[in-house]
Amino acid sequence: MQLVINTFGASLTRNGELFRIKIKDRKVELAAKKIQSLLITTSVHFSSDVILLAIEQNIDIVLLDKYGKPFGRFWDGKMGSTAAIRRAQLEASENSIGISVVQGWTIAKLANQQAFLEELLGRRKGQESFFEPAIATIANSILEIENINEAANCAISDLRNSIMGYEGTAACAYWQVIGKLPPEEFRFKNRSQHPALDPFNAMINYAYGVLYSKVEKACIIAGLDPFIGFLHTDNYNKKSLSFDLIEPFRYIADNVVTKLFTGRRCKTNMFYKESSGSITLEKSAKEILINNLNEYLDESVRYKIKSSKTGKTRQIKRLATIQAEAHTLANMLIGKKTKELPQVTEIDDLFGDE
């Protein structure tokens, strides 16, 4: 299991080969061999003996800030699973394995965009001529990416550029449709990132920022290096893998933000324009976005277990699919197959209703 210790004032100590968790007068002990990683938030006390036991059992310790974002970690200094994953990750960034991963993630992103447009069309009978050209463009981009030539004499950079080109074509068609769906005062012609030039783009950028932190956390917990990407590889000190892995999950933000605007739940006074011209979210806009994003992430979905040849699925929360995808990549890089998705346990679950 992945054990999350996030209760203020909790203490974590070692008792032989057991981890002992104590909160006030309550305590529970867990065998170290049953734990894959420890996620510890601020205001939790733990000893150096805990670190030693974790290292002896090849258990990663990930330190999280009060917002749940990783800021540090402990792992075995020898060639353990984390080091093996990172070495394989670096090698994959320069060969066809990385390209294959990126193809899969980009295709998943475009398939999600296509499905979202089809869902929106289903609620807007008679607007086929508006939606169908974009749906067809995205479908064609998916086919092109599926058929990208991986010949031995083709440079990795050429393959990356081809994938990004087809993805860009699909994105242009997608956002041209999305931009015309909100009420008149919130419509936009083009995506604007930094700075955001309209309320919709300001909110979608903020939502993507929330997802980035969750993707980065998933990478770190899985033993992946967020700085070693496969598609986004060129910028020094850039968390390239997070930019790669977020692609199939962008639909989460797209769905929530689009429906907030088309449902007329966003008002002009929820945004303000800075002197630079950039649009920023007021507190009320952030609150409604975070609440709806968390609700959507908390919904259960059917997730296909990647190691299953029969298409077996498991029902998990939408947020857990991000972690599952990161673990799938880590296991694939070191040639490990698993039929189980990672089980995340918070200490409140261990103590029950006591």
* 213-272 pLDDT, tens digit each: 889 888 888 889 888 888 876 565 678 899 999 999 999 999 999 999 999 999 999 999
- 59 with 94, same domain: the answer is no
Structure tokens at 185: 């005062």
- 67 with 184, same domain: the answer is no
Find out whether 173 and 137 touch, Cβ atoms under 8 Å: yes
The residue segments making up the domain with residue 124 are 87-302
- Please indicate, yes or no, if residue 317 is contained in any of the structural domains: no
CA–CA gap between residue 55 and residue 49 (Å, rounded): 10
pTM listed for this prediction = 0.81
- 136 with 159, same domain: the answer is yes
Domain containing 31 — which CATH number? 3.100.10.20
User: What is the CA angle 327-244-99, rounded to 5?
Assistant: 90
- 34 with 129, same domain: the answer is no
- 164 with 136, same domain: the answer is yes
Q: Is 336 left (phi over 0), alpha (psi -120 to 50) or beta?
A: beta
- 113 with 237, same domain: the answer is yes
Using CA atoms, how far residue 354 sits from 28, 44, 87, 152, in Å, is 12, 20, 45, 61
- Please indicate, yes or no, if residue 61 is contained in any of the structural domains: yes
- 226 with 132, same domain: the answer is yes
CA–CA gap between residue 33 and residue 166 (Å, rounded): 46
How many structural domains does the chain have?
Answer: 2
- Please indicate, yes or no, if residue 22 is contained in any of the structural domains: yes
Give pLDDT < 70 ranges for the chain.
67, 76-81, 149-155, 233-237, 305-311, 337-344, 348-349, 352-354
Residue whose pair of structure tokens reads 């956002």 in the numeric block: 175
- Closest C-alpha to 329, from 251, 249, 225: 225
- Please indicate, yes or no, if residue 279 is contained in any of the structural domains: yes
The pLDDT value given to residue 143:
95
Residue whose pair of structure tokens reads 């979905």 in the numeric block: 301
Residue type, 184: E
Structure tokens at 199: 């309320």
- Please indicate, yes or no, if residue 331 is contained in any of the structural domains: no
- 107 with 72, same domain: the answer is no
Which of 16, 51, 78 terminates a domain? The answer is 78
The pLDDT value given to residue 275:
83
* 300-335 pLDDT, tens digit each: 888 776 555 556 777 888 998 998 899 899 989 988
CA–CA gap between residue 232 and residue 122 (Å, rounded): 35
The pLDDT value given to residue 338:
59
How many other CB atoms are there within 10 angstroms of residue 18's CB atom?
A: 16
3-state secondary structure of 21: strand
- 296 with 228, same domain: the answer is yes
Pairing between β-strand 2-5 and β-strand 37-41 as defined by DSSP bridges: parallel
- 34 with 152, same domain: the answer is no
Which of 258, 278, 302 terminates a domain? The answer is 302
The pLDDT value given to residue 353:
47
- Please indicate, yes or no, if residue 322 is contained in any of the structural domains: no
* CA end-to-end span of the chain: 22
- 91 with 31, same domain: the answer is no
- 40 with 96, same domain: the answer is no
CA–CA gap between residue 305 and residue 61 (Å, rounded): 26
Spell out the residues 6+ positions from residue 189 whose beta carbon is closer than 8 angstroms to its own. 176, 179
The pLDDT value given to residue 354:
45
Domain containing 113 — which CATH number? 1.20.120.920
- Please indicate, yes or no, if residue 155 is contained in any of the structural domains: yes
- Please indicate, yes or no, if residue 336 is contained in any of the structural domains: no
How many other CB atoms are there within 10 angstroms of residue 198's CB atom?
A: 21
Which of 51, 78, 105 terminates a domain? The answer is 78
